[in-house]
A and B are shown apart, each in its own frame.
Chain A
């Protein structure tokens, strides 16, 4: 299973390195969001500073929708999905591979966005341990849910409108938990944020588990 996962992840990341869709389109979109939020909320007043953790994670969720779309559109054409199935890879491995590639791309986008927050919103980063740990857990959870719901919407004519509708309510716990963890790290006492990290970790584990178990029945169709 892990060998298959490595193959799939390497394939997806190689395609990304060569096509640079995430780097060229999704990443600038993430930065655009940060600028738009500053336009919408007065950047000189206290509103933007207070809302930064929430805006950051809302931004990540929007980016996730685009990244998930992209990660399943690579297999959209020329019967690539059938080819994947015929290649004899384990479905759980395919899930883990797509999950890992998506998580890596999201993590890169988050790092750049965090840089944007430091530069554009003039924030100093405190509680680095909590920031990194909660980001990592949140990214794992978001990527797992994204991979699962992405394959549910893949190949449908209505996928662009269906995917956010299915995925975003499911990610509500991640948004709440990650935002609170960031608030504790940036403005409060970091030790208050660790229970939120636990919730994020549980979310990630639940989704990775269900993903590995159910991916097979989603692939064998159509």
Chain B
């Protein structure tokens, strides 16, 4: 029996470029931790709680970035039917779901001492929660028991709808809350004017988390690619085996 040909199968998820990216992302996170916990002072009104806000908006940004990438990749998949675009969309949604969940958790942890409750029906919170459900829906559809191309195509339609859905949900929740009560977040938002370093740390948080996100995305994409190769190899092997069996049976006759 011949071993199936697997074209250019890498033996790992790393390449020199991704290793450099990983080291840069790690260093960036270390600097963010230093800035957030050591370099910046306590906030006059929020105390140490302000340190959560160096992480939270950056997480939310990567979650939305993930949605954008997933929708773009899904459109590409529907047009060209390439495996890469499906893998990219799936990887992006998976990491986006983690980032969205972390956004909700960090927001909740911040909200409990600030507002006295874990959850408020604020427009941003609610639409982020719905976003998490949409992403989980995509992931549920992507793991169904169906032929890979059926699965990819159906997932791509859900991926294509991610951004329109996020916009529609956000708009409706925004109106819903603002027509009924004044926005609560805007009033309680704190003023960054006091310290330039705090402002810088917050913006820097976006950069550091974007780097981490890119590294995770590349890694997840390559894992997905390896999985795909294994699936293909398994199929080829099975076909070769059946063919060998059929030939053997003919020889016996």
Contacts and interface: CB of A to CB of B under 8 A. Distances in A.
A218 B141 CA distance: 14
B144 interface: yes
Contacts of B158: 152, 166
Interface in B143-181: 144-147, 149-150, 153-154, 156-158, 160-161, 164-165, 168-169, 171-173, 175-176, 179
A176 B176 contact: yes
Contact of A218 (B153, B173, B176): B153
A214 B144 contact: no
B134 A169 contact: yes
Nearest to A173: B172
B164 A210 contact: yes
B137 interface: yes
A199 interface: yes
B146 A172 contact: no
A222 B147 contact: yes
A170 B175 contact: no
Given A165-B140, A166-B140, A172 B169 contact: yes
Interface in A204-222: 206, 210, 214, 217-218, 221-222
Contacts of B140: 162, 165-166
Contacts of A196: 175
Contacts of A218: 153-154, 157
A175 to B, nearest CB: 9
B3 to A, nearest CB: 31
Given A152-B158, A156-B144, A210-B160, A166 B168 contact: no
Contacts of A165: 133, 136-137, 140
Contact of B169 (A148, A173, A206, A221): A173
Nearest to B145: A157
Contacts of B149: 221
A157 B143 CA distance: 12
B144 A158 contact: yes
A162 B78 contact: no
Interface string B89-127: 000000000000000000000000000000000000000
Interface in A138-193: 148, 152-153, 156-158, 162, 165-166, 169-170, 172-173, 176-177, 180, 192
- Contact-residue bracket for chain A: 20 to 34
Nearest to B138: A166
Give the dominant DSSP class at B's interface: helix
Nearest to A158: B144
B155 to A, nearest CB: 9
B185 interface: no
A203 interface: yes
B154 A169 contact: no
Give the dominant DSSP class at A's interface: helix
A203 B169 CA distance: 10
A196 to B, nearest CB: 8
Given A214-B160, A221-B150, A180 B130 contact: no
Given A158-B144, A218-B153, A210 B172 contact: no
Contacts of A210: 160-161, 164
A76 interface: no
A129 to B, nearest CB: 20
Interface of A: 148, 152-153, 156-158, 162, 165-166, 169-170, 172-173, 176-177, 180, 192, 195-196, 199, 202-203, 206, 210, 214, 217-218, 221-222
15 contacts: A152-B157, A156-B144, A158-B145, A165-B133, A165-B140, A166-B141, A170-B134, A172-B130, A173-B171, A180-B176, A199-B168, A199-B175, A203-B168, A214-B157, A214-B160
Interface of B: 78, 130, 133-134, 136-137, 140-141, 144-147, 149-150, 153-154, 156-158, 160-161, 164-165, 168-169, 171-173, 175-176, 179
Given A206-B164, A210-B161, 8 more contacts: A152-B154, A156-B144, A156-B146, A158-B145, A170-B161, A214-B157, A214-B160, A217-B78
Q: Which 10 A-B pairs have the closest CB atoms?
A: A173-B172, A169-B133, A166-B137, A173-B168, A176-B172, A152-B154, A221-B150, A176-B176, A214-B157, A169-B134
